[in-house]
Structure 1
Amino acid sequence: MKKITTLLSLLGIGFSALMAQKPVTIEGSFAREKFAEVKLFKVVDGTSKPIATAQPNSKGKFGFQFFPEYEGLYMVGTGTNANPQGNYKFWLKSGDRLGISINDTAYSLTGVSNSKENQVLTQWYKMAWLVEWKSVYFSRNLSTYVDFFPELNSLLPKAKAWLAGPKATGNKKFEAALKDIVKLDLAFFAVNFLNTPRSAHPDKEELPDYYSSVSVNSVFPTAQKAYDYPWGMRAFSTILMRDRMKSGEKPKTGLEGTKEVFALINNDTLKGDFALDQAAVIKDYGKYLEFKNGIEEYILTENQKQREFQINSALATLKPGDKGYEFKFEDKNGKTVAFSDLKGKVVLIDTWATWCGPCKVEIPHLKKLEEAMQGKDVAIVSISVDEEKDKDKWKQMIADQSLGGIQLFASGWSDITKYYKITGIPRFMVFDKDGKIVTVDAPRPSSPDLKPLLEKYL
């Protein structure tokens, strides 16, 4: 039982949650001569993330069985997470069975065990297939606006009438989400068509009236509308680009241009997503920090914070004078201490762990350094990278060894070690009174060079 529970923990699945649900089973086959690797995708904040891969057998059959993390849209297909071609949407929940057959241009349901939700979703798929085909599969057909616009105009009233009719799935969550799925499909297909290579392009006057109703705020009144859709962020970016083009003015770049675009987006979370897209193309660390200061209030979700951290750490040169990483960790009493709390003091950071022999060797020398620096504007901060399971062991060692300074717990090799590219401990780092890097590879306390280095910046 312990091994099973550990495996489920690694997969991010709680044992009690597992016992409360049943797996989803997918049985698929190819109805074409050439087979291909098939992927199963989940939806994460408006993007598609592969979670499993299947190789078809000699007869073109493949399958998946998994415990769903959520009830909602997943995708199965031969495409990639960056390209919608060849990927198909399905609504999956605990215990569902899905049977599909993939041919050269589409999919069909097979078997008799498919859920009512996926039967309904497939009705919509078949109804919208030609519009999707001409929009998304642009490299495989010669469609232009001359034949696409009539198909789009024909689909719009059909979709509205179909949505108004009974669905009888018994699933209120799905039926509510279906309205968003249809709305987003229509907007995505319509705008994607205009932003993909064509042999002929329409004038503004030739656009159907539908396009005037498509804007970031009408399609995405909340960030969750984008986050629940497999191509949500791609649709958001594409529609936003068209919103920007409507002004007819050349878009500005940098922070000024980003703030101008904020005026087109009502939702603060989506402002953060747009800002991070702009941040990702900045190559200079100093310019990045200036940009970050102007958009930081819109970095709201955990995913956005991780994206920002990755951009920041990739650009950080870690050279003297660069701003130090703004960490936040709990001390031995559970109080949160941030790097910015230490401003006004020269800061010595020691990254260590209770299991680290070389770290223990430095403890007596670190104590002597603390005594020498008493009464001076020096903060000595020890950050443990022990795992969460060893937190009590860490606290006990602080007591047994009478460790002084500021003792913080990072719960493993956390962001601070990734930011400063720490792969071995102990690692000592020094920062000046303004929180700027002096060195991220300082002498150890056992070296006579450390004390003069600290005193130099007092």
Structure 2
Amino acid sequence: MKKILGLITLLVLASCSKDADYLLVSGKIINSDGNKITITGDSFEKELTLKPDGTFSDTLDLNYSGAYAIKTNSESNELYLMPGKHLEINADYSDLTKSIAFTGDLSAENNYIKAKTEIKKSLISSNSEFYALSEEAFKEKVEELVGKQKALVEKTKFDVPSYKEEELKNIDYAKALAFVNYPSYHAHYAEAPDYKPSATFPKFDDKLNLDNEKDFYFSNAYKQLVSSKFYEEVEKNTKSEEDKLSDIALPFLKKIKSQNIKNALATDLAYDISPANEKSQQLFDELNKISTNELFKTKLAEKFEKVKKLAKGQPSPSFNYENYKGGTTSLESLKGKYVYVDVWATWCGPCKQEIPSLKATELAYRGKNIEFVSLSIDQQKDHETWKKMVADLQLEGIQLMADKDWKSQFAVDYAVDGIPRFILIDPNGNIVSADAPRPSDPKLKELFTSCLVLE
């Protein structure tokens, strides 16, 4: 009997141990309109299905305690999650950020995150305004933000004993990140390209350990610091514009001790797997060796298969989208001409910077055997914004709007993970370049010249 009781006890303990790896998340999201919500984290992604009344309940198999996010189609909010807990989330899908509220385990931590975010919004209306401030004004604003957020930490009673200490470090990391970002951001937003930090401007502490896995899981600011300093080191070792980012970065990536930090940075490097990179196969193989993140490796394989199908001469994925002038326009309807596609969005600064060069290119090739198609991947809620910008900026060529923003089939088939993206298709509907030069790049004229029909 004692042996049986002992065995039962072991089974119960084993069961408790297994359950402790899971977080139970439940709640209600109103006005969801049949949409889903997604919980994401490092090496983690789980889509939650909402019932018709908006309620949901699911278990999340978490491999760490720390920073995660809850996402709708248009918003993302930070969460703090921990295995073995039960968190209840209630929100309005149409305004997740303002409406989200938490009860149950970890409610103190997550309601704190919401309050902390509100403090930041009350002090900083936009990044453009924040980083355009003078050095002194910027330092004062950062110190004010840090002071108010740390005061909030001190008066909050957290459920998790270690949270307070970790969060105070997180606030300091966010402060350090702001100072790291300031020089380049200020030059951009203040329209001061020659700006250099003064001798008294805070400098980054080079003694900071950037290989701390615990802080990496807890702090998004720490993650960004790690990434920023990693690419700063890569840039220092880049000798020419012809050097591929991945060629320089891979040796540095291999030196990192934390496997999970390696995994995260490997995810960033996957961006370099593209139709324009003749070393995509080599990079794919290297990232597969380095990463232990199975979710990432699955997505990497999917992307690589798409990239292989985008080689010169392959049939182009098609499109048939709403035309600004009415009706729809398909790629098939443009057969017989070259088609230069600009994948863009109204919110994309670099996209809008290309507009003057694009207009000049359209003018230079007017009457030639080529059509210029601008394909917006704005969200449907920004449909009127798109129409207004087309009118206000007097955009020419064929102006189309995709149906599902980033998830539109044409964008998915072309593995579009950054914009602006330019594509050249020949008169037979085959790919000339799945990642063509931008209008501002002199290499575009060389590409067009190589297509003798355009002359």
Range of TM-score over shorter length: 0.3 to 0.5
Q: What is the TM-score of this pair, normalised by structure 2?
A: 0.44
Q: Which has the larger radius of gyration?
A: 1
Q: TM-score, normalised by structure 1?
A: 0.44
